[in-house]
Amino acid sequence: MERRLRKVKTTMSIHAHRRTLELLDGEYASIHHGRSHDFDDLREYQPGDEVKDIDWKATARSHVPLIKRYIASRQHTLLLVVDSGRNMAATAESGESKREIAILVAGVLGYLATRHGDRVGLLMGDASRTESMQEGGSEAHLERMLRRVDDAIGLDGPHSHLEVVLEHAVRRMRRRSLIVVVADDLAYTHDLDVHLGRLHARHEVLWVSIGDADLMARAGDHRDLVGVDSGVGLPPFLRRDRGLRRAFDEQTALRRERLEAGLRSLGIASVRVGSSASAIGSLFRLLERHRRARR
């Protein structure tokens, strides 16, 4: 079986040049409070960096603004909360499986955490069960986590119920952590608002939605699509109906706006990822939004 983490690293190298990877790495580091005085290295100044971190002597020598980077003062915990219900086995916006994109997102964030010496834990579940893995800091541990997510998500599994998983996270997580929720392209509910509000009161919370496929037959896409919950397909002639398309687009936009508004009201940075190709850029924007929101 192909190693899941190797695939994550390969995708990172394909879809992000070195500069982007360094920025992504730096954005992950900057979202944590505090730091030590242990100097690590220098890197080129980027918009949004703290002016006080500029090394003026090194800048004068190189004629390029350089900032100092420091080793984190303590180990942090990243908890990946993943929806492992059958909804995540559906088709994503790009035509890929949502499961593949969810594993990529979890893998990239987990890999960044381990590179910084942080520990990564997993909490996932559906309507029938909730599973967890204790925090670990090795690539081997991260590989086991990604395989566990891969094994858990399937079309024959129970339907998604993220509110139950989040309720479990509220009870379990006592020490302040960074929590990243990897979820279906779902609607914002009262229960979701309550659980996220309780989590955000104690932890740093980020949200990643895995984008749904377009159910309408646009761009010449006339595949047979079947709902993972109902098992019922939408006939091609209905998917081509302009009135239905317009109504579908309006309801989809409304659902996404409500989700974004609800998360924004709680102060939770969010992003929607529709493909593997856009994942790296989307995660960079997510970390940057979170950092800027806390300033």
pLDDT in tens, 151-168: 999 989 999 999 999 999
Question: Are the beta carbons of 152 and 103 closer than 8 angstroms?
Answer: no
b or e along 184-211 (b: 16 or more beta carbons within 10 Å of the residue's beta carbon)? bbbebeeebeebbbebeeebbbbbbbbb
Q: Phi/psi at 216 (nearest 5 deg)?
A: -90, 150
The model's pTM: 0.79
pLDDT digits (tens, 9 = 90+) for 214-239: 776 565 555 566 666 666 666 777 77
pLDDT digits (tens, 9 = 90+) for 53-69: 888 888 888 888 888 87
Q: What are phi and psi of 81, to 5 degrees?
A: -105, 110
The domains of the chain are located at: 4-70, 77-293
CATH class of the domain comprising 77-293: alpha beta
